[in-house]
Amino acid sequence: MEERDVRAYDPPQPHYARWRSRFFVLLAIVVLVPLAIAIYALARFGGDRAVVYDTPEEHFKYGSTGGEHESGFPYWIFQALPQVCNHLLPGGYKSLGLVYEDGKDLPIGMSKRKYMGIDRTFLNCAVCHVSTVRRSPQDKPQIVLGMPAATFDVMGFERFFFECAADPKFSKDYIVPEAQRLAKAGGRPLDLIDRYLVYPIAVAIMRERLLMLRGRFGFVDDQVRRHLLWGPGRVDTFNSAKVLFNFPMDKLDRSELLGASDFPSIWNQGMKRGMQLHWDGNNTLVEERNKSAAFGTGTTPPTIDVKAIKRVEDWIEKATPPRYPFDIDKELAARGAPLYKQYCAACHGANGQDFSGERVGKVTPIEAIRTDRRRLDSYTEMLAVNQSTLYAGYDYRFTHFRKTFGYANMPLDGLWLRAPYLHNGSVPTLRDVLEPAAQRPKVFYRGNDVYDQKNVGFVSTRASEGDRTFFKYDTALDGNSNVGHEGAAYGTDLPAADKAALLEYLKTF
């Protein structure tokens, strides 16, 4: 009888053992693999992290207001579009007057945030309140924080994105390869998920949203057809707000659709508390004015970054303008001081550091000041009512917006940097402001940052400089009038010698 090798004998497994092994396989397929995928997806697409900056100045230049959440451009799409749509913007973003610092990948006034797994960028407050100054065309531009963004063409910025979105090249087939090229050149190539999932979807979503906004901003197309471009340094703040409030723009009276006015300076906000703010004085609360401005940078009540905006508020409370850097004839300026006190101080403050005066920060009726009324008419009672609903349910709901009847008298701190002048930027230099409207330039050029020391403002007589072309401002066009702020009460009837003395004194502000 053969002996059996019991060591080789493998008895059949019990029924429960086979099911136990199958159970673990099923567990891995049904639970563990999806769990691992979920953990990876959460790590990859979760989180909400804005880039944070140490100093208040850097935060002002590049910090987030929260606008990237809903309005943000995917970072690499933003970087790729000037190449993809080069025929629409041959000079890139710099040609729109955006200010770049050496070694920075984004212009001043654009923040960055990682949200839903993708780096996003969008505008912040500095895009409207930073610009540059040069002594001569050969000099390097000096960046000044808090001054009006005199070179930035916000209408051109908007129109580039709208027109590029309508172009056949705005597709994943053109944008993703260019984004990958730029990312790789920057040492951060897109991975497979970004290249074949995230960015193709982002391109489609961004195109759809831009085309939707293009349709809603149709009133701007009408202005372009009528040659009513805003030009650098100007923005139509409140008609843009009406779009975001879903106003039927095509049904509004044309008289309220031309509200383009200059970007303001934002220094010394602590000294301006209680004054009537904005050009027409429609609000008296600094915090509301700031959150209203943040609304213009793409924030909404659920997405506004209140802590980040508070850092900006704390900085602009005490931020001061740089002093006039060129020569001042002190003897001539001293002769101008009493003239300023007689003609200007009651409305604009004792000087550039003392804002006391019986009418400072108060509205002068349009019938008295007689400047162009388009900006005043653009802000309506209906818009004020709608603004009161913004942030409803939050502690910072708007309660101070009101329709007014004229323009607010502004303090003149940093006056030398605030050209062109009047609320709509229709007068190029301070010397021209001191002349009657009939003697002010009818046509001049905006967007130059070379300083005109003689006339106190930016050079405005040149149509171009090298490869830069400046914006032709025509005061005969609707909304561009340079009349008003003239007559005996405003000093425009003074003798030439007195005007020269007053002009020299204004340099000290």
The secondary structure element, H or E, covering residue 408 is: strand 406-408
In the beta sheet, which residues pair with residue 454? Answer: none
- Give the structural domain span for 36: 6-45
What's the CA angle centered on 292, arms 290 and 296, to 5 degrees? 110
Domain count, the chain: 1
What would the mean pLDDT of 36-47 be, rounded to a whole number? Answer: 68
The sign of the torsion formed by the CA atoms of 369, 372, 378, 382 equals positive
438 confidence band (pLDDT: 50, 70, 90): very high
d(CA 404, CA 411): 19
d(CA 198, CA 161): 20
What would the mean pLDDT of 25-30 be, rounded to a whole number? Answer: 70
3-state secondary structure of 355: coil
Tokens representing 365 are 């009726």
What would the mean pLDDT of 218-246 be, rounded to a whole number? Answer: 92
Is the pLDDT at 1 greater than 50? The verdict is no
Cis peptide preceding 420, ω within 30 of 0: yes
Q: Has residue 28 been placed in a domain?
A: yes
pTM across the whole model:
0.90
3-state secondary structure of 237: helix
More reliable by pLDDT, 269 or 3: 269
Nearest to 413 by CA among 326, 293, 324, 341: 324
Burial (CB count within 10 angstroms: exposed 0-12, middle 13-18, buried 19+), residue 396: middle
Give alpha helix (H) positions in 300-373.
306-318, 330-343, 345-348, 366-369
Burial call 327-352: b when 16+ CB within 10 Å, e when fewer = eeeeebbebbbebbeebbbbbbbbbb
Q: Has residue 12 been placed in a domain?
A: yes
Is the pLDDT at 8 greater than 60? The verdict is no
More reliable by pLDDT, 123 or 23: 123
Average pLDDT over the chain, rounded to an integer: 92
What's the CA angle centered on 66, arms 65 and 72, to 5 degrees? 110
CA distances from 494 to 429, 486, 488, 503, 505 (A): 17, 11, 8, 12, 15
The whole-number pLDDT of residue 16 equals 62
Give me the half-sphere count of Cα atoms (radius 13 Å) on the Cβ side of residue 465. Answer: 16
Burial (CB count within 10 angstroms: exposed 0-12, middle 13-18, buried 19+), residue 82: buried
The whole-number pLDDT of residue 195 equals 94
The whole-number pLDDT of residue 396 equals 85
Distance of CA 15 to the CA centre of its chain: 71
Q: What are phi and psi of 48, to 5 degrees?
A: -155, 95
Q: Tens of pLDDT along 156-188?
A: 999 999 999 999 999 999 999 999 999 999 898
Q: Has residue 26 been placed in a domain?
A: yes
The whole-number pLDDT of residue 43 equals 66
Q: Has residue 20 been placed in a domain?
A: yes
Q: Has residue 41 been placed in a domain?
A: yes
The whole-number pLDDT of residue 34 equals 72
The DSSP-derived string for 27-55 is HIIIIIHHHHHHHHHHHHH--EEE---SS
What would the mean pLDDT of 487-508 be, rounded to a whole number? Answer: 97
Is the pLDDT at 247 greater than 90? The verdict is yes
Q: Tens of pLDDT along 71-128?
A: 999 999 999 999 999 999 999 999 999 999 999 999 999 999 999 889 999 999 999 9
3-state secondary structure of 164: helix
d(CA 195, CA 252): 44
What's the CA angle centered on 288, arms 286 and 293, to 5 degrees? 95
Q: Tens of pLDDT along 444-478?
A: 999 999 999 999 999 999 999 988 999 999 999 99
The secondary structure element, H or E, covering residue 387 is: helix 381-387
The whole-number pLDDT of residue 41 equals 62
Tokens representing 414 are 């940093």
Q: Tens of pLDDT along 46-86?
A: 788 999 999 999 999 999 999 999 899 999 999 999 999 99
Burial (CB count within 10 angstroms: exposed 0-12, middle 13-18, buried 19+), residue 4: exposed
Q: Tens of pLDDT along 252-284?
A: 998 899 999 999 999 999 999 999 999 999 999
Is the pLDDT at 44 greater than 50? The verdict is yes
In the beta sheet, which residues pair with residue 386? Answer: none
Q: Has residue 29 been placed in a domain?
A: yes
Tokens representing 172 are 């994943």
d(CA 183, CA 174): 15
The whole-number pLDDT of residue 435 equals 98
40 confidence band (pLDDT: 50, 70, 90): low
Is the pLDDT at 151 greater than 80? The verdict is yes
Q: Tens of pLDDT along 317-375?
A: 999 999 999 999 999 999 999 999 999 999 999 999 999 999 999 999 999 999 999 99
Q: Tens of pLDDT along 393-413?
A: 888 899 999 999 999 999 999
Q: Has residue 37 been placed in a domain?
A: yes
Nearest to 362 by CA among 322, 405, 328, 321: 405
Q: Has residue 381 been placed in a domain?
A: no
Q: What angle separates helix 154-165 from helix 75-84, to the nearest 10 degrees?
A: 80
